Chain A
Amino acid sequence: MAEDLEKLRNDGDLLFQQVPMVEIDGMKLVQTRAILNYIANKYNLNGKDIKERALIDMYSEGVSDLNEMIMLFPLCPPDAKEAKMANIKERTRNRYFPAFEKVLKSHGQDYLVGNRLSRADIHLVELIYSVEEIDPSLLASFPLLKALKARISNLPTVKKFLQPGSQRKPPFDEKQLEKARKIFRF
């Protein structure tokens, strides 16, 4: 509700008046990237040194760029939707998926960076699921991405999260969009 947001803002809980906000280890964290970095560092999902972290960051930023396009799509005005969707598919097919397929091919390892699980793998697999919800055929010519998706999905914690009843959220629909519009007044 709009009042919930108002209260968070008035209580000084939102540094820049925006959500997400995560309360963790006595801190009220905002800014998605800052939060993700903190969690990844804390749980050893951010590489073993700053060079690995640079690659993880680079890959994660790319994932985030495409994810943002998909995330903002419901907000697109109806007459622009077709062009926007075509753009998302084109970017997926020609820019992002080929880049990650190439990374996996270049080292032949099970994970994107340093031969071990990092947040980059998790972010990418999350993105692959989102893309498949739009158009499953987009994954067709990317065998290594398919294999990564299967491998990460089978990790016990991820497997559990993918099951019904977990805290995973469904794609944003029109009803939720209306709710968000009311709360954030746009």
Chain B
Amino acid sequence: MATKPRLWYFRGRGRMESIRWLLAAAGVEFEEEFLETREQYEKLQKDGCLLFGQVPLVEIDGMMLTQTRAILSYLAAKYNLYGKDLKETVRINMYTDGTLDLMMMIALAAFKPPEEKEENLALIVMKAKTRYFPVFEKILKDHGEDFLVGNTFSWADIQLLETILMLEELNASVLSDFPMLKAFKTRISNIPTIKKFLQPGSQRKPPPDSSYVEVVRHILQF
């Protein structure tokens, strides 16, 4: 029996959350090791597990993979969520690069000084509503299909749902002008593996709070 993928990261979303989403959506069970002390992190570095000294780290198929996008691309390809040809793959890459950019902004906002945080989050919501969401609304409207690319469930759909939910945590009415995205959200949330992941008790992580920020700052020393 194949061993389960093993994830090393802090006990929170950060750069690992999209990886958790992808594995969960693909119905793949995974194990997690949570970094809670500086010593654990230094041990990983000393053992040569971290190519550039950074997490996320995913141990899968005999490889110690780092770099979020490298990990995500590998998983998408492995679990057939990456399109059927190069043209579909490039569209999936374009869409996921965009949504990942937006989610990274949110992840980094947690580490901004308190006086900047509110302004920062407002900017992110504005970018979502003016730059990103209109694009995906139009894509769904133009082809009228259930999924973003090739009429088939892909990594792009998982990532867009994750992004939508994250934005709704910042601003509950963020989808008010986007009917196609509202329907998309309902549809994708009802996929059995995703529905399960959205329930309490799953490996999905909550939004970052001050104690999470403190742990990360302590371990990474910044």
Partners in one complex: yes
Q: Are A54 and B97 in contact (CB under 8 A)?
A: no
Query: What is the CB-to-nearest-CB distance from B32 to chain A, in angstroms, rounded to a whole number?
Result: 20
Among A25, A27, A33, A96, contact of B69 (Cβ-Cβ < 8 Å):
A33
Tally of chain B residues near chain A (CB < 8 A)? 28
Among B52, B86, B131, point to the contact of A62 (Cβ < 8 A): B52
Please tell me if the beta carbons of A50 and B94 are within 8 angstroms of each other in the complex.
no
Q: A50-B77, A53-B77 given as contacts; is B89 within 8 A of A58 (CB)?
A: no
- Which of chain B's residues have a CB closer than 8 A to the CB of A16? 98, 101, 131-132, 135
Q: Which residue of A lies closest to B97 (CB)?
A: A31
Interface residues of B (CB under 8 A from A): 51-53, 61, 63, 65-71, 73-74, 77-78, 86-87, 89-90, 93-94, 97-98, 101, 131-132, 135
**Of B74, B90, B101, B135, which one neighbours A57 at CB under 8 angstroms?**
B74
Whether B73 lies near A25 (C-beta < 8 A) is no
Interchain CB contact under 8 A, A38 and B90: yes
Chain B neighbourhood of A32, CB < 8 A: 97
Q: Select which of B51, B74, B97, B98 is within 8 A of A50 by beta carbon.
A: B74
Inter-subunit contact A57/B69 (CB<8 Å):
yes
Number of A residues near B (Cβ < 8 Å) is: 31
Which A residues are CB-close (under 8 A) to B101?
16
On chain A, the residues within 8 Å of B131 by CB distance are 16-17
Which of B52, B53, B67, B94 is A29 in contact with, Cβ under 8 Å?
Answer: B94
Q: Which residues of B contact A80 (CB under 8 A)?
A: none
- Residue ID in chain B nearest A103 by CB atoms: B51
